Chains A and B, each alone.
Chain A
C-alpha cells in the first residue's frame, strides 16, 4: 500500500491505495464518486473518462498511484458553482444528447476537453474527437449537436430531429 494525495474537483484527498488500484476504483469505491462509469474496463468505451492535470484520460487505464500529486476532475465537478448545469450539460439536456445516460459522464468530460482545445469545432472535428466515446443509445447525432450548441454555434443545419 502507498499513500496518495491528490486534488479531486478542487478538494484535497489522501488515501492508502494498492499499487494495482485503478482511478475508476479509487473514485468510485474509495471516494464514492460514482459518476465516473465503467463500461468496458478494456480501454475502449470512454465512459470512465476523467481529467488528470487538465488532460482527458481513461480512468480505467491509469492507476491511482500514478495520480499522486495530480489535479483530477470528474463529472461531479462539472456543474456551475451554484449547482446548475454547465453549458455542456445543459446543451445535452436541451438537445436530447442522452438516452440511458450511461456514456454521458464520459461524453461531457471529453466534450469539455475538446472545447478547451478547440472552442469552435466543426462537426467532423467533434466526431473525430469522440472516437473513443461509445454510445449504445443515441446514434451520436444529438451528442454532436449538443456539443456544437455548447460551443455557441448554430445547429439548425445539422438538425434531423
Chain B
C-alpha cells in the first residue's frame, strides 16, 4: 500500500469537509477498498472513515419503505429488515461471509457498483432512492455502467430508501471462490408492476430485464417467462462462465426467484 492517513470524523458535515482535501477518499467497511489499496489500485492521501458517523447507521421505516443508513453493515441489515423486507435481509445475509458482513456497508457496495455485487440488484429491483449529502437519486438514474455511478467526487451516500414490495426474492448463483454472484436476479412485485434486476451478467453492470418485467406484470408466475431469453450479446465472458451460459442462467434464476417470492 502507498502511505496515507486515516481520519475518523463523527458527523457527515466533518466527513464532507475532510473529503474536500486533495486525493481524499471515503472508507466504508474497507472490504473492497482495502484489497484494492493493497494492489496499489488507488493512491489516496487521506482515507476518511465513515464508520464513526452514527447518523448514517441503522434502519428506520417510513411509509411503505425501509430507510437504511449508508454506513449500515450488511450484517445489521440482515438482522434489522428480517421482518419488514425479508428478501432484502436474505440477500444481505448471503453477501460474502460473516466477517465481510460485519464490516461491509450498503453505501460502500452501491458506491463501488461492482458488476457482480448483490446490492445493486436489490436497489434497482426495489426502485430504491439513493440519498446523499446533497441530493436524492433514483436507482434508475444512479447505475451508469460497471464501477460507475451518478455520484460526484466526495459525495457521500447517507442513506438508501427501499420501497417494500408485495413479494420479492433474490437468487444468487454463487461464484464459490469469490462468493460474489456469477449471476444474480432480484425480482420485486409491486402493486403497479414487477421489476427484475440482473447482476453479475452484463458488461454494463446491473440492468433491468424489461421483457420479463412486462410478462410478469401480467402474470406473476414462472410459466409467464417461458420462451423469453436475454441475448448473450453484451454479457460478460470470463473463466467462470461464457456469455451464453450467463444468458441461460438469467432465465433460470428469474424463474426460481418468481417461484420463491
A61 touches B34 (CB 8 A): yes
Is A57 positioned at the interface, with any CB of B under 8 Å from its CB?
Answer: yes
Interface flags for B27-69 (1: CB within 8 Å of A; 0: not) read: 1001100110110000000110101000000000000000000
User: Please, how many angstroms separate the alpha-carbon atoms of A19 and B46 in the complex?
Assistant: 8
Chain B contact residue count (CB 8 A cutoff) = 29
B5 and A61: CB pair below 8 A?
Answer: no
Interface CB pairs A-B, < 8 A, 6: A2-B5, A19-B4, A44-B178, A56-B98, A56-B99, A65-B49
B147 interface residue (CB < 8 Å to A): no
Query: Is B8 within 8 A of A68, CB to CB?
Result: yes
CB-based A-B contact count at 8 angstroms: 78
A2-B5, A20-B2, A62-B30 are contacts. A57–B51 as well, Cβ < 8 Å?
Answer: no
> Once the chains are docked, how many angstroms separate the CA of A49 from the CA of B101?
13
Tell whether B153 is near chain A: CB-to-CB under 8 Å: no
* Segment 68-120 of A: residues with Cβ below 8 Å from B: 68, 110, 113-114
The secondary structure that dominates the B interface is mixed
Choose among B2, B49, B96, B100 the residue that contacts A66 (Cβ–Cβ < 8 A): B49
**B83 in the interface (beta carbon within 8 A):** no
Known: A61-B31, A110-B98, A132-B96. A42 touches B6 (CB 8 A): no
Q: Return chain B residues, CB-CB under 8 Å to A44.
A: 177-178
Provide the main secondary structure of the chain A interface. Answer: mixed
Q: How far is it, in angstroms, between the C-alpha of A63 and the C-alpha of B102 when the chains are bound? A: 15
- A65 and B31 in contact, given A57-B103, A113-B98, A132-B97 (Cβ under 8 angstroms): no
Among A19, A129, A132, the residue within 8 A (CB) of B47 is: A19
| Residue A34 CB within 8 A of the other chain | no
B-contact bits for A33-71, CB 8 A (1 contact / 0 none): 000000001111010010000011110111101101000
Q: Does B179 contact A (CB under 8 A)?
A: yes
* Residues of B close to A129: CB separation below 8 A: 98
Q: Are B3 and A49 in contact (CB under 8 A)?
A: no
Knowing that A20-B4, A68-B8, A131-B97 are A-B contacts, what are 17 other residue pairs whose CB atoms are under 8 Å apart, sorted by A's residue number?
A2-B5, A20-B37, A42-B38, A43-B34, A46-B99, A57-B99, A57-B102, A58-B100, A58-B103, A62-B30, A63-B30, A110-B98, A114-B98, A131-B96, A131-B98, A132-B96, A132-B100
A75 to chain B, nearest CB (A): 15
Please give me the residue from chain B that is nearest to A18 by CB atom.
B3
Interface set, chain A 129-153, CB cutoff 8 A to B: 129, 131-133
Q: Are A56 and B8 in contact (CB under 8 A)?
A: no
Task: Name the residue on A nearest B177 (C-beta).
Answer: A44
Q: Which residue of A lies closest to B49 (CB)?
A: A66
Cβ distance B253 to chain A, nearest Cβ, rounded Å = 20
Least CB distance from B74 to A in Å reads: 12
Q: Given A63-B30, A131-B179, does the pair A20, B1 have CB atoms closer than 8 Å?
A: yes
Give the shortest distance, in Å, between A106 (CB) and chain B (any CB): 9
